[in-house]
Amino acid sequence: MAVPPTVAEANAAVPPTGTPVRSLTNQFLKDVIATLALKADIGTERYVEVANFAALPASPATGDTYVVLAASGVPFINKKEAGLYRWSGTAWLYLGPAPEGYFTDNVLSFFDDVDPTKQAKLQLSGITPGTVRTLSWPNADGTIALTGHTHVLANITDVSMTASDLNSLDDGADTTLHFHAADRARANHTGTQLASTISDFNTAADARVAAAVGTSVQAFDADLSAIAALAGTSGLARKTAANTWTLDTNAYLTGNQTITCTGDVTGSGSTSVTLAIGAGTVSLSKMANLAPNSIIGNNTGVSAAPTALSATQVRTLLNVADGATSNATDASLRDRGTHTGTQLASTISDFASTVAATAAVTANTAKVTNQTHTGDVTGATALTISDDVVSNLKLSNMAANTVKVRAAATVGDPSDLALAASQLLGRGSTGDIAPITLGANLTMTGTTLSASGGGGGGSGLTAAETRRRIFLGA
């Protein structure tokens, strides 16, 4: 696509201000139009506009070109500039900024062909974001009407009302078009009116309500207000508290119906029901609670309802003295052979001596407190581990590649000393047993220590002597 002309180039292609257009030759006009069309591709191609790079279609046809109106993304990371993008068949290629054929409303201006100081601009800020509005030009000549502008009546050609007619609607005179007297009469008014437009509405309403209360209007009552506020279509209004009502929707009997009772109590009837308690149905749990230490009985000497008799009343009824033991003789009751239950040892005077004299206790007392142990561990009270009985199996496990040594110049417990690969066990320069690292001219192959080289005076020791001295720490 050709590069669009700049504003300076477009202005250069137009004759100086004041030159009548009709005086231009046809060829000159053709040259100007051709130049502008060539540089801006006017009339040759119309690109589809999208809001940003993310709005470009995913699978367009190869060669499709779109105008991205706004940049998006983060600079140096994924920013996509505004401008022209063309689909290569595999990706969107950025062609450059949008041609100047696309104008923003703050740079597009129209100039009068005679007086260039007369200008007009478009302002698009009132359009909803993401929306394109299209202005269609009518097939007629005329002047654009504006909101907020007073139009001369003579320029309005699509109405038949004259200025005189308009005036007759505004003045107070009666005319055939607008009869003011009849229209102003409230008797002729229709529709409704807001109470706020009536100046003495509240005063008049209060006076009428006050006059009607107690006669044709019920005075305010909190109970009635609560009943009126109940929600529901049917039910029984039930007062639960002061000025508080609920709607009871439970079902109740509305007339005499036959009721039949079954179970422990039986009977049937409509207006009245005679009930009978079935024989053997009143269990002990269904009886009324008794006073403590009482039994049911009748001590009146005549037929009467049973009552709860106290222990005294029962003994009187049975002719038994308080504390009497009439079930056995005193001697029998005192005989320990007839007693039941248990007895504390502390109540038996010779319990300890009798127990100590039993054969089992005597035999147990004769037993030795500590037996003599034999085997790896010997002794009676104090036990001793015998010499040479703690084998390697009885020692605790050791870490891999460690030896048990006393690696100190004092008497004490042994410890496990770890040896790394190619280290020897010996006494270091401090005299303590430690891992010995091979020095210069010494190498370890498998389990063989080798000495090589020498020089510098040497020690004059053989390899075997060197190994012996390393091991002994000499």
> Does 366 fall in a domain?
no
> Does 30 fall in a domain?
yes
Q: What's the number of domains the chain is made of? A: 2
| Closest by CA position to 316, among listed 304, 299, 296, 303 | 299
Which residue is associated with the tokens 């089992």? 360
> Does 437 fall in a domain?
yes
- The pLDDT of residue 92: 93
Structural domain of 89: 7-102
Domain boundary among 43, 71, 102: 102
Q: How many CB atoms lie within 10 A of CB 106?
A: 11
| CA dist list (Å): 241 to 223, 226, 244, 396 | 10, 11, 5, 86
Q: Which two tokens stand for residue 406?
A: 């006393």
Q: Which amino acid is it at 111?
A: F
| CA dist list (Å): 284 to 237, 249, 373 | 43, 40, 71
> Does 462 fall in a domain?
yes
8 A C-beta contact, residue 322 and residue 316: no
Q: How many CB atoms lie within 10 A of CB 211?
A: 11
> Does 457 fall in a domain?
yes
> Does 259 fall in a domain?
no
Domain boundary among 57, 75, 102: 102
pLDDT tens series, the chain, 474 aa: 344 444 444 445 444 444 444 434 444 444 544 444 444 443 334 578 899 999 999 989 998 989 899 999 998 889 999 988 999 999 999 988 876 665 667 656 777 878 878 888 888 888 998 888 888 888 888 777 777 667 676 666 665 656 565 555 555 566 655 566 777 778 888 888 898 888 899 998 888 887 777 677 777 888 888 888 888 888 888 999 999 999 888 888 777 888 889 998 998 988 788 899 989 888 888 888 888 988 988 988 899 989 988 988 888 888 887 877 667 777 887 888 888 888 888 888 888 888 888 888 887 777 666 677 888 888 877 888 888 888 888 888 989 989 988 888 889 889 988 888 888 888 888 888 888 888 888 888 888 888 886 544 445 556 566 666 665 555
> Does 453 fall in a domain?
yes
- The pLDDT of residue 88: 92
Domain boundary among 76, 102, 128: 102
Q: Which amino acid is it at 324?
A: A
> Does 253 fall in a domain?
no
Handedness of CA 339, 344, 345, 346 (dihedral sign): negative
